[in-house]
Structure formats: structure tokens, C-alpha cells
Structure 1
Amino acid sequence: MPAPPAPRRPPHERRPRRHHGARPGHPAGQPPHEHPPAPRPRRRLRPHRGTPARRYGQGLTISGNADQIHLQRQAPLLEEFVRRGGRVLVNGHIVRPFLPGLTPWRALDHRGPADLVITPVTPHPVFEGVDPAELLYRTGVPGTPTGEELTRVGVAGFYGRGYQTHLPEGATVLNGIGPHALPVDVVHPLGRGQVMVHAGNDLLSFCDPDRSTRHLGPRLLAWLEGTL
């Protein structure tokens, strides 16, 4: 005769069922989503060693939306990168300087496009051939208006609404903003490298294929690589 089945344990003695997909160390019987994974740590910048950075064609562009508190924590590595020959494009409004030579941003008192006009100050290959009006005005209409039409339908203020204060020694103002041509685009040396600062929305966002700004992006990348 076949052996009788083993008696079932009373409910209070049964082991809890392991939830499908539970990870080691996760409490049995509870779905994994009740214990979210720990946040991933931020990656630290690695210091550059050996040959100067520009010989490798290395550059760094920092968005205006970057976390300046975090960048301040990485300041020694950023400074070492530039001093060894790297090039950095810094966009946005500097509130917490994270590199030598960066200074706080100051807003302009503006009431119209004339208060935000962009004026070339010192020639630079990145901005060669760029019409300042096509930096000043942005449009959302179809087509690519230029000249008087661009002035009529365009909106000013996207390129910049303020300027940099207390420029470091050796700094060169590339473009000015407002009736007094206050510094909105500046470049200054740092060790064997260079830092370019644009006090406005990300400079690479102003590359329009059907305007004079179409070469702005490739020239910026070439400058970051050290070939311009």
C-alpha cells in the first residue's frame, strides 16, 4: 500500500512564501518595490595625468543647468584639467564660482531689445561671420526670417540678460551686451588651458543651419579640441 501523505502543518507554523523576484537580504513575503534601491553615487571626475589635455584634443562644455554646488566640490579636478592644457566652455549664470577667474553673474535692467543688443568687442574665430542680430533674436515662426523681418517677429533676451563682473587678469571680452557692451562672452587663460564663459543660455543652442550662426557649433567644438 502507498505511504499515507504527510500531514500538513497548521497555518501558524507554515513558512511565509517567498515573493517572486525577491533579492537576497530582502524580507520574505514583501514585494521588492517596498524597499527601493539606494541611490547611485555620483561619479567623480578623474584627474588628468601625463601629457597636456589639449594634445589629446580634450575639451569640456558645462551647461547652464549644471549643479554648481557639485562643480564646486570638483573644483580641484576641473582646475587641474584646464591648467594642464584643457579648454572649458562655461554657460549660464555663475552663482558659485568653481574655477579661478569665474565671477558672479549680474542681471541687466532691461525694458526692450535695445537694452540687450549684442555687440562684437574682440574678434574671435568662434564668432567669425556671425550676425549679432541672429544671436539677439529668436523666433518660433516657420521659415528663417532675417534682417528687418527677424527684428519684427523675433524675441530678444534668450542669448543673455546679464553680464559678468570683475573679470580676471588677462581676460578678453568677445561680445558685449546692452548699450554699454558689458561682458557677456569672455575668454581667459588658466595655466596652459583656456576658459570661455557665456553668460546666457547654452551657446551651442544658437546654431541655426540657415543663418550665419550655422558654423558656430563646429567652431566651438574645434576650439574645445584645441584645433581653432
Structure 2
Amino acid sequence: MENKDILLLNAQSVGMGEVSLEHTFAMLDVYDFPQANLEPYIALIIQGSIDQELLLKHKEKIRKFVDSGKVLVFGGHLFLPWLPGAASFIPKEIRGHQDYEVNFHQAHPIFEGVDPNELSYRKGVAGFFARGHHPLPAGAEVVLTLPDGEPTLYIDRVSTEGTLFVSSGNALLGYQDPTESTGQITKRLIDWIRSEYVHLQQRSVAQ
């Protein structure tokens, strides 16, 4: 049985898809977060449907978790300042469906071999991945953009002693369909989280 070392908040909104995420993540109702012991976990995944007012009240707990050399993944529209280094979501001004098309700013193992159109469109409708962006923190790495260069997914290794993986669309948990090029994204995200955690811990020891 795989070690459940990644904690998922707000799990009730996750589509289980082809593979049950219950076998991969430890799950926690967000309203139990204030009392939760985060020590056993290497990463925290937070989805956009979360109660951000509650997280704002406990932003120091979140900061302490990431500063211990751990990973935080957030996908959604940030509107309160609970996430270290991040700024509020800015909606995209839309002139046509092409304005929602996702581009790869740089190569990343999570998206290797992925057709960007499968991120941008679903059943011919655009905008399923991202409809805006979060302004980039200083020093963060851009992974995905919209057509005008707005960062829809970035990795921030500067704002904390850990790593923040921030998407203005979703937390990448719904990509498990083996018939699509996007089908391995969720599994690759999990693999990347574990690899990133090892790197962070090695860096901490070296310091």
C-alpha cells in the first residue's frame, strides 16, 4: 500500500475519475484543518473551492508548513492573501475562444507529450483549464501561459523555504483518462511532488 504522505484539503470536490484518489492521498475536511497535525505530510494540495476565509485565519500555519521544506499545490482563483508570495486572481479579458488557449512556456515533466489543446478545450469548448492568472512573484518560474503571456501555472521556490506550485485553473487532479495525452498528468504531479520534496530536504541538509 502506498504511503499517504500527501494531504488533500476539500477532497469532497474531487472527481475520482478512472483512479480513486483515496488510495493516493490522505484527505482532510478543511474545517478540521485548524486542529490538524501536518507533521507527517510532505505536501499539501488545496483546491479552488476551498474556504479561503478560513485559510486566511490560519495563514501562519500554512507558512510554517511550507517553510519546513515542503510542497504546497494550489489550483484555483486566489482572492485572499493566505498563500505566501501570491497575488489575487485577475480574470482574462476575452475577445474570442482563442484567448483561453494554454501554451507551454517551458518544458516540464508533468506535461511531457501533452497536447495543449486537450488542456484548453473539452468537447470543443474553451476555458476549462484557466480563465485568468495570478501575477508572478519575483523569481518564480513560469510553466504555462495564456496567449498574451499571462502565467497560468508557476513554481515558486523563492517566497518560502519550500516550493509553491500555483495554478490559476485547477490542481491537476482530474487528468486520469488514459485515452488522452493529459491522462498521466495527475500521476506525474504526484511523482513530481515526491521528487521535489527530496530535493528540498537535501538542500536543507546542505545548508
Cα drift, residue 97 of structure 1: 2.1
Match of 1:182 among 150, 154, 161: 150
Equivalent residue number for residue 58 of structure 1:
42
User: For the structure 1 residues 155 and 121, does the alpha-carbon distance in structure 2 shift closer, same or farther, using more than 3 Å as the test?
Assistant: same
Equivalent residue number for residue 159 of structure 1:
129
Match of 2:161 among 189, 192, 196: 192
Cα drift, residue 226 of structure 1: 3.2
User: For the structure 1 residues 203 and 43, does the alpha-carbon distance in structure 2 shift closer, same or farther, using more than 3 Å as the test?
Assistant: closer
Whether 1:71 and 2:55 are equivalent positions in the alignment is yes
Alignment of 1:185-224 (within 5 A): 185-189=153-157, 190-224=159-193
Output the aligned Cα RMSD: 2.0
* Distance in 2 of aligned mates of 1:127 and 1:203: 11
Superposition misfits of 4+ residues, deviation over 4 angstroms:
45-49
Deviations 1:145-176 (A, max 9, x none): xxxxxxxxx110111111112x2122011000
User: For the structure 1 residues 157 and 43, does the alpha-carbon distance in structure 2 shift closer, same or farther, using more than 3 Å as the test?
Assistant: closer
User: When the two structures are aligned, how many residues end up with a matched partner?
Assistant: 166
**CA contact under 8 A between 1:47 and 1:77: conserved in structure 2?**
no
Whether 1:91 and 2:75 are equivalent positions in the alignment is yes
Structure that is richer in helix per residue: 2
Alignment of 1:79-158 (within 5 A): 79-139=63-123, 154-158=124-128
* Distance in 2 of aligned mates of 1:108 and 1:98: 22
TM-score scaled by length of structure 1: 0.67
Residue type at the aligned position of 1:119: N
TM-score scaled by length of structure 2: 0.73
| Identical amino acids, percent of aligned pairs | 34
User: For the structure 1 residues 77 and 121, does the alpha-carbon distance in structure 2 shift closer, same or farther, using more than 3 Å as the test?
Assistant: same
Q: Secondary structure at the match of 2:34?
A: coil
Structure having the higher Rg: 1
Deviations 1:38-78 (A, max 9, x none): xxx744154656xxxxxx76211101100111111111111
Cα drift, residue 197 of structure 1: 0.7
Q: Secondary structure at the match of 1:204?
A: coil
